């Protein structure tokens, strides 16, 4: 399901004395079935942007199109249900959305809201819990008795259970240990292989490189670049400084190697690329 | 959360900012008491002029105060409508079934509205120019005598200052939880009151759990920094009256005198 | 060397759950910088709370600078340990930056006249003096954590524990906090014992010593070089090596022993010649 932003402007508190313009003329599209990463420094408007995808925020001007749904300033609240069924958002620290008596009940919340009956909702919840790797032994437990990592997974299942075609993840990896982070990236790729459109906000360029088909760079509420990771991360270093962005760790390492007198033919983005490049470089001697 | 101005402090260096918080609290209290006596156009005009003057003195844009009024707009409107619709008298201006709008009703409604607005503006001046800690401090000192009858004034003051600090955080949190549950399809529940009440559980529980977690975290952070009880502490912000406070009390005196005079004359 | 923290045969369990710490031992020398790592739920935060007496052990002994932790000594011990928590918003007590730094001083019953200079000094160390009158919620995450650090520094602690203090920050905020920590270490040297709890192994390499725990067990303990040479063991415990370590493992031929980033770059540029 493709997502298109057309000339979107957005202000918090639009129409009041406190109106505060955040997004400026954002035009961007996120192709169906692909993983689009959104990066940019703190306060650049990433979270504000993605909250338009399921109508939590409505553009002050311009429009957002998700599949065949058009969202504008005039879209009625009632119509948004239809959009929210298609788009699931996992927020940062999603564990603070948990509320029900049992894990299973919590995960059933979204499918029930979107009109599934109890049996269907339970089936959907079970599928989602399995997908994120929550063991069956935990399903009847209270979500508040779980460890931090388990809570995070249950919360993600709570969004995936309504089987949205678009999944938006807003910095989902914060506070996870290295293994948890790796599993999360795996889940993103799995969602993609199921044909879902994934939007992924992250400050971790290594995560971006690992999953993204394209990267949207935000700066001061504007989209300043949209490229594949390979193209984007080959830009000039000064540009990254200006955007307050990091290179992936492999790229950073390669820069340090260059400074030490070992220049690689091109800037590597992943550990494997870096290792291969170094091995050939050294092997040639 | 950004449009809630009640309880929000904006740092500055104006005459009002530099006043002792006790002066400001006594002043606010006195002003509200006096203002409730107003009963004529002239006396309302004078109280309004006085507040506008104070607002000028705070050096903050009027827009900030305006934003403080907005959240309670509906409350004001509600009271005004009540006054309008249910004040008997003559002459009758308009009649629609049982609803009768009379001239005294209209005047009353306008007075009530002005009172509301002035009270809010005055309290906003206090909170906008005084850090919550200072308000709590001032309260503690003003209520000091109550300690004699075993009222835990120091604890109450500390609780108040922390509560004030947590208001914006909780507003923020509420918004986040709303967003998360809306994304999971919450909302537009139809059905009877029980069903509707049930529908807000997904908001209330996370909010409660989150608040509790915050409170526990904060308690830890306080204990680690050596907090034992609210009594055995010294104070960073020491309160002392200065020349300006004398000036302020003089101003307040002039306000009351002019008020009494206008009330008599007009 | 004096021992800043000594933990002997510690036992602890949360209410009805299974035992978390079972005869756990750890000694931290005064002046060390120790990174404490372990997967989610391995007991790191619990350990910090035990040391601070925020929760009480079921059995075992904790001593801080030779003083055993008991109900009588807990306040004295807390006076020597400062702690910065993960969530920057939940540890602000004061309404402004200065008020927050003052909070601990007020608890110590420092005379009001002495406070401004102590506050300025502490804010100066973390580079936040310009933000003295700001309200906490108008600060960025990295700035908030630096204020939290200043609030702790004002109390002149001998030990500072940071529990994932950078986890909620963006790279910029993370960098400023880590730079501040390095500056602290340079400034106070042996007078300051630093314990950083983290999931970021590149952060852990900055420490003098890395301690790995898993389900309340001590898995590895040693210099970063020693700990990070145990690649398999780290992976088995849900952890990873710092980037340079993971890279070195892919090199053919691989270096004989663990190299940190600087050493690896040197090693590689020498190979090239
Ligand atoms: N509810 C709100 N009301 C008013 N302003 C807001 C609100 N939420 C965010 N903002 C402002 O909008 C701007 C963009 O915020 P946003 O959260 O979209 O940034 P972000 O790119 O997601 O940042 P981060 O990386 O820190 O999550 C910021 O200046 C922020 O202060
Ligand atoms: N208040 C509590 N009541 C019951 N169990 C708890 C409580 N706090 C933590 N636990 C459990 O104790 C174990 C250790 O938790 P702890 O918070 O110390 O882990 P951690 O190493 O700090 O993890 P993380 O990296 O996620 O912060 C976990 O299994 C956790 O679920
Ligand atoms: Mg964001
Ligand atoms: Mg922890």
Sheet arrangement for strand A166-170:
A87-90, A166-170, A197-201, A35-39, A214-219, A222-227
Q: Which residues of A touch C (CB under 8 A)?
A: 41-43, 147-149, 174-180, 203, 244, 246, 249-250, 253, 256-257, 260-262, 271-272, 274-275, 278-279, 281-283, 285
Best residue among C15, C22, C40, C46 to mutate for probing ligand 2, ranked by most atoms within 8 Å of CB: C46
The DSSP symbol for C234 reads H
What are the phi and psi torsion angles at B97 (to 5°)? 60, -130
3-state secondary structure of B74: helix
| Mean pLDDT taken over chain A | 92
pLDDT at site C273: 61
Terminal Cα distance for chain C, rounded: 43
pLDDT at site B190: 62
Residue found under tokens 């249950």: A154
E strand or H helix at B239:
none
Measure C16 CA to ligand 1 centroid, in angstroms: 42
Q: For the stretch B182-200, what's the b/e string if a residue is b when 16 or more beta carbons lie within 10 angstroms of its beta carbon? A: bbbbbeeeeeeeeeeeebe
CATH number of A1-92+195-242: 3.40.50.300
Would the pLDDT of A202 be above 90?
yes
Of these ranges, A155-164, A167-176, C261-270, the one predicted with the greatest mean pLDDT is A155-164
**Cα gap B187→B195, rounded to integer Å:** 12
Q: What are the extents of the domains in chain A?
A: 1-92+195-242, 247-285
CATH fold label, C1-80+157-239: Rossmann fold (3.40.50)
Sort strands A35-39 and A87-90 into parallel, antiparallel or unpaired: unpaired
Q: What are the extents of the domains in chain B?
A: 1-130+237-266, 160-229
Express each pLDDT in A1-59 by its tens digit.
Answer: 899 999 999 998 776 555 788 999 999 999 999 999 999 998 899 999 999 999 999 99
Measure B261 CA to ligand 1 centroid, in angstroms: 52
Indicate the pLDDT class of residue A284, thresholds 50, 70 and 90: low
pLDDT tens sequence for chain B (266 residues) = 344 545 677 878 889 998 999 999 999 999 999 988 888 888 889 999 999 999 999 988 888 888 778 777 888 888 888 888 777 777 777 777 777 788 888 888 888 888 889 988 998 899 888 877 788 888 888 888 888 888 888 888 888 878 877 777 888 889 999 999 999 988 755 667 777 777 888 999 999 998 888 888 888 889 889 888 777 788 887 777 888 888 989 999 999 999 888 888 87
Q: How far is CA A153 from CA A183, B156, C184, in A?
A: 10, 40, 37
Q: What string of DSSP letters covers B44-66?
A: HHHHHHHHHHHHHHHT--HHHHH
> What ranges make up the beta strands (E) of A97-233?
166-170, 197-201, 214-219, 222-227
Residues of B whose CB is below 8 A from A113: 184-186
B181 touches chain A (CB under 8 A): yes
Nearest atom in ligand 1 to the alpha carbon of residue A221 is: 14
Alpha helices in chain B (DSSP H): 15-18, 21-35, 41-58, 62-69, 73-86, 103-129, 132-142, 153-183, 193-199, 201-224, 243-265
A29 touches chain B (CB under 8 A): no
The DSSP symbol for C73 reads T
pLDDT at site A16: 58
Residue of chain B with shortest Cα separation from A168: B183
- Is B114 exposed, middle or buried, given 0-12, 13-18 or 19+ CB atoms closer than 10 A? middle
A156 touches chain B (CB under 8 A): no
Which residue's CA is the closest to the ligand 2 atom numbered 25?
C40
E strand or H helix at A5:
strand A3-12
**Cα gap B76→B58, rounded to integer Å:** 25
pLDDT at site B147: 80
Q: What string of DSSP letters covers B109-160?
A: HHHHHHHHHHHHHHHHHHHHHS-HHHHHHHHHHHTGGGGGGT--HHHHHHHH
Domain with CATH 3.40.50.300 in chain C: 1-80+157-239
The strand pairing partners of A258, in sequence order, are none
Residue found under tokens 């990771």: A229
pTM, full prediction: 0.84
pLDDT tens sequence for chain C (273 residues) = 689 999 999 999 887 767 889 899 999 999 999 999 998 888 899 999 999 999 999 999 999 999 999 999 998 999 899 999 888 888 888 878 998 999 999 998 999 999 999 999 999 999 999 999 888 878 888 899 999 999 999 999 999 999 998 888 888 888 889 999 999 999 998 999 999 999 999 999 999 999 999 988 899 999 999 999 999 999 999 899 999 999 999 988 888 888 888 899 988 888 766
Q: Which of B157, B225, B229 is the best residue to mutate to test the C interface, defined by the most C CB atoms within 10 Å of its own CB?
A: B225
Residue found under tokens 């975290």: B217
Best residue among A48, A58, A208 to mutate for probing ligand 1, ranked by most atoms within 8 Å of CB: A48
């Amino acid at each position: 399901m493709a997502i298109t932003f057309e000339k979107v402007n957005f202000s918090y508190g639009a129409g009041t004395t406190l109106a505060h313009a955040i997004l400026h003329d954002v035009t961007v599209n996120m192709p169906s079935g692909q993983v689009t990463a959104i990066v940019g420094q703190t306060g650049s408007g990433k979270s504000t942007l993605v909250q338009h995808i399921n109508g939590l925020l409505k553009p002050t001007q311009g429009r957002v199109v998700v599949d065949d749904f058009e969202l504008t300033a005039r879209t009625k609240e009632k119509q948004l249900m239809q959009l929210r069924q298609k788009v699931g958002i996992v927020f940062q620290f999603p564990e603070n959305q948990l509320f029900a008596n049992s894990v299973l009940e919590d995960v059933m919340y979204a499918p029930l809201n979107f009109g599934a009956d109890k049996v269907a909702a339970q089936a959907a919840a079970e599928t989602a819990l399995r997908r994120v790797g929550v063991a069956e032994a935990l399903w009847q437990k209270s979500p508040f008795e779980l460890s931090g990592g388990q809570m995070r997974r249950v919360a993600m299942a709570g969004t995936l259970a309504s089987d949205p075609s678009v999944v938006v993840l807003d910095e989902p990896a914060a506070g996870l240990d290295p293994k948890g982070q790796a599993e999360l990236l795996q889940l993103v790729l799995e969602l993609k292989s199921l044909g879902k459109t994934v939007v992924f906000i992250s400050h971790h360029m290594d995560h971006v490189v690992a999953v993204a088909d394209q990267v949207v760079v935000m700066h001061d509420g504007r989209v300043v670049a949209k490229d594949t990771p390979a193209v984007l991360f080959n830009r000039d270093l000064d540009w990254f400084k200006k955007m307050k962005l990091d290179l992936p760790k492999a790229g950073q390492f390669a820069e340090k190697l260059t400074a030490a007198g070992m220049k690689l033919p091109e800037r590597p983005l992943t550990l494997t690329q870096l290792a291969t490049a170094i091995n050939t470089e050294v092997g040639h001697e | 959360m950004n449009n809630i101005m009640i309880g929000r402090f904006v740092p500055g260096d104006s005459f009002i900012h530099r006043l002792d918080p006790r002066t400001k609290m006594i002043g606010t209290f006195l002003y509200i008491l006096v203002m409730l006596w107003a009963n004529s156009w002239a006396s309302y005009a004078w109280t309004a002029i006085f507040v506008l003057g104070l607002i000028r003195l705070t050096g903050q844009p009027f827009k900030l105060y305006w934003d403080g009024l907005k959240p309670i707009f509906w409350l004001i409107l509600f009271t005004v409508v009540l006054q309008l619709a249910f004040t008997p008298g003559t002459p009758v201006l308009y009649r629609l079934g049982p609803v009768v709008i009379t001239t005294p009703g209209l005047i009353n409604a306008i007075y009530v509205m002005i009172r509301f607005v002035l009270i809010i503006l005055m309290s906003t001046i206090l909170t906008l120019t005084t850090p919550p800690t200072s308000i709590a401090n001032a309260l503690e000192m003003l209520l000091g005598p109550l300690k004699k009858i075993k009222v835990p004034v120091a604890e109450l003051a500390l609780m108040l200052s922390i509560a004030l600090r947590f208001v914006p955080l909780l507003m923020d949190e509420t918004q986040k939880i709303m967003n998360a549950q809306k994304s999971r399809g919450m909302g537009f529940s139809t059905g009877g009151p029980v069903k509707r009440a049930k529908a807000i559980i997904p908001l209330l529980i996370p909010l409660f759990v989150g608040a509790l977690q915050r409170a526990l975290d904060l308690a830890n952070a306080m204990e680690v920094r050596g907090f034992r009880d609210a009594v055995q502490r010294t104070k960073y912000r020491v309160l002392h009256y200065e020349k300006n406070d004398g000036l302020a009390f003089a101003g307040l005196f002039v306000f009351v005198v002019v008020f009494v005079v206008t009330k008599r004359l007009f | 060397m004096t021992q800043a923290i000594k933990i002997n045969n510690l036992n602890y369990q949360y209410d009805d759950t299974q035992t978390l710490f079972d005869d756990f031992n750890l000694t931290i020398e005064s002046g060390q910088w120790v990174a404490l790592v372990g997967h989610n739920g391995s007991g790191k935060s619990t350990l910090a709370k035990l040391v601070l007496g925020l929760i009480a052990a079921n059995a075992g002994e904790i001593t801080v600078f030779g003083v055993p932790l008991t109900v009588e000594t807990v306040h004295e011990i807390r006076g020597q340990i400062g702690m910065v928590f993960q969530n920057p918003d939940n540890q602000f007590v004061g309404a402004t930056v200065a008020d927050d730094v003052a909070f601990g001083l007020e608890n110590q019953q420092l005379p009001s006249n002495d406070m401004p200079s102590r506050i300025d000094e502490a804010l100066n160390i973390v580079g936040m003096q310009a933000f003295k009158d700001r309200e906490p919620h108008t600060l960025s995450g990295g700035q908030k954590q630096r204020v939290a650090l200043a609030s702790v520094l004002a109390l002149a602690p001998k030990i500072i524990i940071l529990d994932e203090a950078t986890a909620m920050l963006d790279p910029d905020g993370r960098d400023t906090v880590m730079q501040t920590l390095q500056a602290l270490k340079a400034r106070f040297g042996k007078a300051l014992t630093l314990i950083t709890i983290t999931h970021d192994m590149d952060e852990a390499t900055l420490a003098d010593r890395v301690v790995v725990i898993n389900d309340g067990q001590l898995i590895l303990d040693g210099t970063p070089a020693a700990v990070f040479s145990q690649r398999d063991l780290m992976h088995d415990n849900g952890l990873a090596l710092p980037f340079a370590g993971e890279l070195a493992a892919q090199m053919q031929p691989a270096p004989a022993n663990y190299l940190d980033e600087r050493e690896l770059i040197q090693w590689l540029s020498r190979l090239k010649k």
